[in-house]
Homo-oligomer: A and B are copies of this chain.
Amino acid sequence: MGTDAGTAQPAPPQSGRLGRPPRLSKDAIVAAARRLLEQEGVDKLSMRRLAKVLDSTAMALYHHVRDKDELLLLVLEDHARRFPHRELSEEPRARLLEAAQLLHDILADCPWIVRVLAADDLMAVSALWIVESIVDAAVACGCTPEDAVHVYRVIWYYTAGELLIRDTADRRRAEREEPPVRDTVMAGLDAEQFPRLASLASAWPDLTARDTHRRGLEGIVNGLLPA
C-alpha cells in the first residue's frame, strides 16, 4: 500500500511542449494525498505537509487544484473509481438496500469526506450512479419521483450522520487517552431520574455493533417505502 509508486510519478514529460516541464501532476498529488490520508488521517493532511511529502511547496499545489476541498473531492473520486464493482439485484427493494449499503461502504473508507460532501447532498460524480439507483429503485417500489428523492435524502442524512459520528469517535479515541465523556456521564447517572439509561449504562458502549448501519437502513426503508 505504501509502495504503489506507479500512480505517484510525475506526469510523463510530453514531447515538444512550450513552457517549463511540470514536476507535479494532479494524479501525483491525489496519490500522495491518498497515502497520507491512509497512513496518518485527515488531521495530518495539510497543504504544507502534502507538499513536503512531494518535495515541493504548498503553493505549487495550487497550480493543480483549486483548494483543499477540491483536492479531497478528487481523492474521493479516485477511491470511488477503484472501489470493487458490485452487481445489484433486479428486485427493486433489494436493489435499493444494496445501493444504499454500497454508498455507505464506499464512504466508510473516507469518512473525512462527509464534511466536504455535506455542503451538497450529492455524491462524487463517479458514484452518482448509486444515487440514480436508489432513486430509481424507490420509484420502482411505488414512490412518486418526489417521494423517491425524499427516501434518498433520509438515507443520505442517516448515512452521513453514522459516518460522521463513528469517525469522530474513532479519532477522539485515538488521540486522547481519557475515556469519552459519555462513559463518565453514564457512570454517574441518577437511577431515579434516568432509570432506562442507568440500567443500560454498562451495555451502552458495547451496543455500537458493526451492523448498526445495516439494521437501521432496513428499518428506514421499511418505514419509508409505500406498503
A128-179, CB < 8 A from B: 128-129, 131-132, 135-136, 139, 145-146, 148-150, 153-154, 156-162, 164-165, 168-169, 172
Q: How far is the CA of A145 from the CA of B193 in the complex (A)?
A: 17
Q: In the assembled complex, which residues on chain B have CB atoms less than 8 Å from the CB atom of A132?
A: 193-197
Report the minimum CB–CB distance from A142 to chain B (whole Å).
14
The contact of A118 among B128, B164, B197, B219, by CB within 8 Å, is B164
Q: In the assembled complex, which residues on chain B have CB atoms less than 8 Å from the CB atom of A159?
A: 161
Q: A53 within 8 Å of B by Cβ? A: no
Q: In the assembled complex, which residues on chain B have CB atoms less than 8 Å from the CB atom of A180?
A: 119-120
Q: How far is the CA of A212 from the CA of B216 in the complex (A)?
A: 18
| Contact present for B119 and A168 (CB under 8 Å) | yes
The contact of A119 among B128, B181, B204, B216, by CB within 8 Å, is B181
Please count how many residues in chain A sit with their CB below 8 Å of the partner chain's CB atoms: 60
Report the minimum CB–CB distance from A226 to chain B (whole Å).
11
Q: What are the interface flags for A77-95 relative to B under an 8 Å C-beta threshold, 1 for contact and 0 otherwise? A: 0000000000000000000
| Contact present for B194 and A128 (CB under 8 Å) | yes
Q: A145-B199, A161-B164, A216-B154 are in contact. Are A169 and B128 (CB under 8 A)?
A: no
Q: How far is the CA of A150 from the CA of B191 in the complex (A)?
A: 21
A181-227, CB < 8 A from B: 181-182, 185-186, 193-197, 199-200, 203-204, 207-208, 212, 215-216, 218-224
Whose C-beta in chain B lies nearest to the C-beta of A199?
B145
The contact of A182 among B122, B135, B146, by CB within 8 Å, is B122
Q: A11 within 8 Å of B by Cβ? A: no
Q: In the assembled complex, which residues on chain B have CB atoms less than 8 Å from the CB atom of A160?
A: 161, 164-165
16 chain-A/chain-B pairs, Cβ below 8 angstroms: A118-B165, A119-B168, A120-B182, A121-B169, A121-B182, A121-B208, A131-B197, A132-B196, A135-B197, A145-B199, A145-B200, A146-B207, A153-B212, A157-B162, A161-B164, A221-B223
